[in-house]
Structure 1
Amino acid sequence: MIPMAERIKQAHPGTKVYVTDKFGDWSSLAPMWHQIQEIGEDLMNIAAAHPEGINLIGYSQGGLIARGILEQFPNHTVHTFISLSSPQAGQYGTKFLHLFFPGLVCHTAYELFYSSIGQHISVGNYWNDPHHQSLYRSYSRFLPYVNNEVLSSQSNSYKDGITRLRKLVLIGGPDDGVITPWQSSQFGYFDENEEVMEMRDRKVYVLDKFGLKTLDKKRRLTLIEVNGVSHLDWHTNETVIDKYIIPFLK
């Protein structure tokens, strides 16, 4: 993320930009709640140093961690949150997982991820199998909770953390190649027939489970679809940074 940080500094001279190096490489497999708590505490310290408010950018799994932080720390001072090619509605694709789990395939991955062992793996926390939704809601300790698909004592604060935003920007595209379906980056997802339901057709939006509809109705939600960008290029693509990220960082 350092090249993006430098590009932002060039466009907005004098802006303080922070990049976290926590949970890189293999440690990115740590449970989502653990990552959210540690990085979230760092973010709150940064926010305390900037009481005028801050902007937050999360790329790939980092974007989902960032959303979790906003919900876990609902009194945050984040003005704009930019989610860059992140599996916000979950993941149902194994291409990027073969580095860690060479034999993993979609239709049986739930056997690993919807287990006590699987829930100690970050990807297992947001694995969303459209064919095993009851297991997803029963075993997943993260995604159905932050989506308020499973209610908890923190459900109201989760929604408060999202609706506090002045702007939520969701960026993704059909040539991503990793986030599956790519529409997950904009809260769209597969139905039981593996047909993609767009965000505004899904229950989490219609029932305003955690604030998407509220933001949308207040014109605080922006969806950006970009063609021709692969997953590993979003955060270094200068066109994406200059055209779709920097303009929101005011």
Structure 2
Amino acid sequence: MAIAAVRDVVASDKRFKDEYIFMGHSMGGILARAVIEQMDDHKVHTFVSLAGALSGISYGPQDADRIPLQFLAQGSAATAIPPAVFNFSNYSTNEYRGKMQYDWARKLTDPELQATYSFANVVRFPVRNAWSDTNEFMPVFNNMNKYGVSAPWQMGQFGHYSDVETREEIETKFEDLSIVEMHDTVEYKEDTFGLRTLDERTCEFNLVYNTYVYKVIS
């Protein structure tokens, strides 16, 4: 559907006849990337992802995740995941420090949930094998599926939280979770989908808002 929509837009506007910039924000970042990779007749010359969910959404212990968690508590995810399926608002402040993440990880292993709600497809929980065995989008998209306002913000630069051994450790070792920067990820080191190759070609992964975006929209 997304590819068909892009083709319709491109065909109806002569400005896109030769080549164009494709920009995506937040969930749109991973959607735009998926379209580019699957659409064999696109004419995108530059892809810009702003806070895109490129390596998966995960709510961890770093201070920057507190605001996204506050939005969850206020019901911001209700349109993506009905409260009857999983109620993010049903937790105390302390329970957002591991218990909610553990419960959510357990829920994410439900194949019916993965097949029904697209938001579940872009979530990453830090038990690599369990995550890659049950999520049929993000691990597959990043070629990691057979490796035996979102958070963290580093996901927009292909970073993610460190892994633990079991789902129970998401709760018991929550405060020990740390960010794995892009260059230290398995995806980068093993170049599972060309990330290291792009970096070696001087693709820009750092924040671009002040340099490129603000002066255009201000």
Q: Is the TM-score greater than 0.5?
A: yes
Distance apart, 1:103 and its partner CA: 2.6
**Aligned counterpart in structure 2 of residue 116 of structure 1, from 88, 111, 134:** 111
What is the CA–CA distance in structure 1 between the aligned matches of 2:7 and 2:183, rounded to whole Å? 31
Q: Which runs of no fewer than 5 residues in structure 2 stay unpaired? A: 60-67, 79-86, 92-99, 164-175
Partner of 2:171: none
How has the CA–CA distance of structure 1 residues 92 and 213 changed in structure 2, closer, same or farther, with 3 Å as cutoff? same
Distance apart, 1:109 and its partner CA: 0.2
1:39 pairs with 2:2? yes
What secondary structure sits across from 2:155 in the alignment?
helix
1:73-125 residue CA offsets vs partner (Å, 9 max, x unmatched): 24421111111112211111272444213237212101222212320212210
Q: Normalising by structure 1, what TM-score?
A: 0.61
1:149 pairs with 2:144? yes
The aligned runs of 1:1-250 (5 Å cut-off) are: 38-48=1-11, 50-93=16-59, 95=69, 96-98=71-73, 99=75, 100=78, 101=87, 102-103=89-90, 105-119=100-114, 120-130=116-126, 132-150=127-145, 178-192=149-163, 193-224=176-207, 241-243=213-215
- Confirm or deny: 8 A CA contact 2:157 2:205 kept in the other structure: no
What secondary structure sits across from 2:192 in the alignment?
coil
How has the CA–CA distance of structure 1 residues 239 and 225 changed in structure 2, closer, same or farther, with 3 Å as cutoff? closer
Paired amino acid for 1:242: Y
Q: Which runs of no fewer than 5 residues in structure 1 stay unpaired? A: 1-37, 152-177, 227-237
- Confirm or deny: 8 A CA contact 1:47 1:54 kept in the other structure: no
Distance apart, 1:240 and its partner CA: 7.3
What is the CA–CA distance in structure 2 between the aligned matches of 1:53 and 1:91, rounded to whole Å? 31
* Alignment length (residue pairs): 170
1:28-75 residue CA offsets vs partner (Å, 9 max, x unmatched): xxxxxxxxxx12211123344523111111111111111111122244
- Confirm or deny: 8 A CA contact 2:132 2:139 kept in the other structure: yes
Paired amino acid for 2:33: R
What is the CA–CA distance in structure 1 between the aligned matches of 2:198 and 2:40, rounded to whole Å? 15
What secondary structure sits across from 1:224 in the alignment?
coil
- Confirm or deny: 8 A CA contact 2:55 2:160 kept in the other structure: yes
Structure whose alpha-carbon radius of gyration is higher: 2
- Confirm or deny: 8 A CA contact 1:58 1:83 kept in the other structure: yes
What is the CA–CA distance in structure 2 between the aligned matches of 1:141 and 1:97, rounded to whole Å? 24
Paired amino acid for 2:119: V
How has the CA–CA distance of structure 1 residues 239 and 223 changed in structure 2, closer, same or farther, with 3 Å as cutoff? closer
What is the CA–CA distance in structure 1 between the aligned matches of 2:145 and 2:58, rounded to whole Å? 20
Q: Identity of counterpart residues, as a percentage?
A: 28
Distance apart, 1:147 and its partner CA: 0.6
- Confirm or deny: 8 A CA contact 1:60 1:85 kept in the other structure: yes
